[in-house]
A and B are shown apart, each in its own frame.
Chain A
């Protein structure tokens, strides 16, 4: 299996703080890879470093074997990397339709994808002209994911999709991510280990800004000692 994304030993500073001190990981094409770790380990910063929002000061990032470190954020996004930020980051002043339309990279993107998007999230079709601010938390999260599906993204970076959602909504979200992963490669940051373990085939554990372990999720599930040590749960 070829790797869609590879990160080699990146170091990232935010201000004077050395947040990532050596993160390396690989995301195989067509897989869901979970980025695991405790609070403050550097998971979101890893995503932001990939996206150029907090550019790494050292190390290399390759997307489809092409180096993208040093690219500007909008250039990285245009290569086909979609980002679903944490806290259901939609544009609340725009309607659902406008939130989707604004994500078009080429004219007609939305028309081509809307059937797929509405099959994943039927609620969005009903709410299409409602302002984003009127949506519930679960609906906002669906819209945030749907928005990343509008352009022809090859890789989706999804940050904490289950955060703050009711269990029934989390199940809906998981089903949607599972279904969309048939077409897209996903790098998923998820605190909820049960969610992550049910979705991902591979995992990477980050601790204190370093990638300390990676492999197949099936192996991690059978290794309670590692789970306890790095994730604090068994």
Chain B
């Protein structure tokens, strides 16, 4: 082995992370048709948007994928870069509300709406960026939570009620005909599927790139990254911009899919849900975020059904159990081939208090 070959990435490993997602993508694209066949429905009925199990499963998967996109974007911020932000729900909610208001109250086209959502996402990230060099760790988390809470209060205010629907939520957002989730469920499903996988692949490429490796180094110890000559502020800002754009676009999908945009998506509860999804899957793994989102969605569905009003309490129990017994999450534990409880708790505590591990 030549010396240069020794320090370059092994070719086989470079493609390995993309094979399973590709298979999953093909499987998910075919799933509505498979479900239709299994439930005695004609596959042509899926194309004709007929009601039935296939349409139901598409709806459920759309919800899971939207959550997965938000969880992925949060994993990039906290899991990969170690930036403890509690204001991530703002990115998702702002995308949803801006899309809803522009489409409904101002009659904008979807293209123009997407353009403004992108601009707004960058501005939101820059707003967090203004705070970034001034406060660190848990203080940054609290300031970003404060910014998110301001948004939560503003969208519920009566003064803006004619646009946002105040505390009732924004209803009757008109999606463009070709993307109407009621009449064109399969198109919406496929668009969401393609977007979700595009986000995942982009994130995977980013994390494996030299810039992404610096982000991992910042998570481990920012001072060491500084000592190598990196202006860590710019790396964190880039991560915030990428995550804000992604989560805002997930918000756009949410606004187009859901009949009501509830102000609760900007609340602290929503933030806690995002954190829980990434914890279930495994912080810093990327693959864990969609898995966490799927489990979270199904978990809330069944907990609501079984425990009714106590469901939130049970969700809290799941939180505590995760931190104590599966600190690396599902994917993280699988990657390490073991639970490594003591080390895992130390690592998680470091991340969730914004202290890193050294």
Measuring CB to CB, which residues of chain A are less than 8 angstroms from any residue of chain B? 51, 53, 72-74, 77-78, 82-83, 85, 87, 89, 91-94, 97-98, 100-103, 105, 110-111, 114-115, 118, 125, 128-129, 147, 151
Given the known A-B contacts A73-B223, A74-B231, A102-B217, are A87 and B358 also in contact in the complex, defined by CB atoms under 8 Å? yes
Which residue of A has the minimal Cβ distance to B7?
A: A97
A94 partner, pick from B7, B216, B223, B232, beta carbons under 8 A: B216
CA distance in complex: A83, B226 (Å): 10
B3 within 8 A of A: yes
B228 within 8 A of A: yes
Chain B's nearest CB lies how many Å from the CB of A35?
A: 17
Contact B227 A77 (CB under 8 A): yes
Q: A97-B6, A101-B213 are in contact. List 12 more A-B contacts (CB 8 A).
A: A73-B226, A91-B216, A93-B216, A94-B216, A102-B210, A102-B213, A102-B214, A102-B228, A105-B228, A105-B229, A114-B3, A125-B6
B307 within 8 A of A: no
Which residue of B has the minimal Cβ distance to A84?
A: B227
Contact B229 A85 (CB under 8 A): no
Chain A's nearest CB lies how many Å from the CB of B207?
A: 11
Contact A110 B216 (CB under 8 A): no
A97 partner, pick from B9, B216, B217, beta carbons under 8 A: B9
CA distance in complex: A91, B216 (Å): 9
Chain A's nearest CB lies how many Å from the CB of B296?
A: 25
CA distance in complex: A74, B234 (Å): 12
Contact A91 B220 (CB under 8 A): yes
Which residue of A has the minimal Cβ distance to B223?
A: A53
Which residue of A has the minimal Cβ distance to B222?
A: A73
Chain B's nearest CB lies how many Å from the CB of A184?
A: 16
CA distance in complex: A92, B229 (Å): 19
B230 within 8 A of A: yes
Q: Which residues of B contact A101 (CB under 8 A)?
A: 7, 210, 213
Chain A's nearest CB lies how many Å from the CB of B204?
A: 16
Q: Which residues of A contact B219 (CB under 8 A)?
A: 93
Main SS class of interface, B: helix
Contact A73 B220 (CB under 8 A): no
CA distance in complex: A78, B210 (Å): 18
Given the known A-B contacts A91-B217, A102-B214, are A77 and B229 also in contact in the complex, defined by CB atoms under 8 Å? yes
Chain B's nearest CB lies how many Å from the CB of A102?
A: 5
Contact B4 A91 (CB under 8 A): no
Question: Which residues 240-266 of B sit at the A interface, judged by CB distance below 8 A?
Answer: none
Given the known A-B contacts A91-B220, A93-B220, A101-B213, are A77 and B226 also in contact in the complex, defined by CB atoms under 8 Å? yes
Q: Which residues of B contact A114 (CB under 8 A)?
A: 3-4, 6-7
Q: Which residues of B contact A110 (CB under 8 A)?
A: 7
CA distance in complex: A51, B223 (Å): 10
Q: Can you identify 17 A-B contacts, CB atoms within 8 angstroms?
A: A51-B227, A74-B227, A77-B226, A77-B227, A85-B227, A91-B221, A93-B219, A94-B213, A94-B217, A101-B7, A102-B214, A105-B229, A111-B3, A111-B4, A114-B3, A115-B3, A151-B229
Question: Which residues 123-154 of B sit at the A interface, judged by CB distance below 8 A?
Answer: none
Q: Which residues of B contact A82 (CB under 8 A)?
A: 227
Chain B's nearest CB lies how many Å from the CB of A96?
A: 9
Contact A118 B9 (CB under 8 A): no
Q: Which residues of A contact B227 (CB under 8 A)?
A: 51, 53, 73-74, 77, 82-83, 85
Contact A103 B228 (CB under 8 A): yes
B111 within 8 A of A: no
B358 partner, pick from A89, A97, A125, beta carbons under 8 A: A89
Contact A128 B7 (CB under 8 A): yes
Chain B's nearest CB lies how many Å from the CB of A136?
A: 17
Contact A118 B226 (CB under 8 A): no
A91 partner, pick from B210, B224, B229, beta carbons under 8 A: B224
Which residue of B has the minimal Cβ distance to A89?
A: B224
Contact B213 A74 (CB under 8 A): no
Chain B's nearest CB lies how many Å from the CB of A3?
A: 22
B226 partner, pick from A74, A89, A128, beta carbons under 8 A: A74
Which among A53, A82, A102 has the highest number of chain B CB atoms within 10 Å? Answer: A102
CA distance in complex: A26, B227 (Å): 21
Chain A's nearest CB lies how many Å from the CB of B318?
A: 26
Q: Which residues of B contact A94 (CB under 8 A)?
A: 213, 216-217, 220
CA distance in complex: A170, B81 (Å): 34
- The list of the 10 closest CB pairs from A to B, nearest first, reads A77-B229, A73-B226, A78-B229, A83-B227, A114-B3, A74-B231, A97-B7, A128-B6, A91-B217, A74-B226
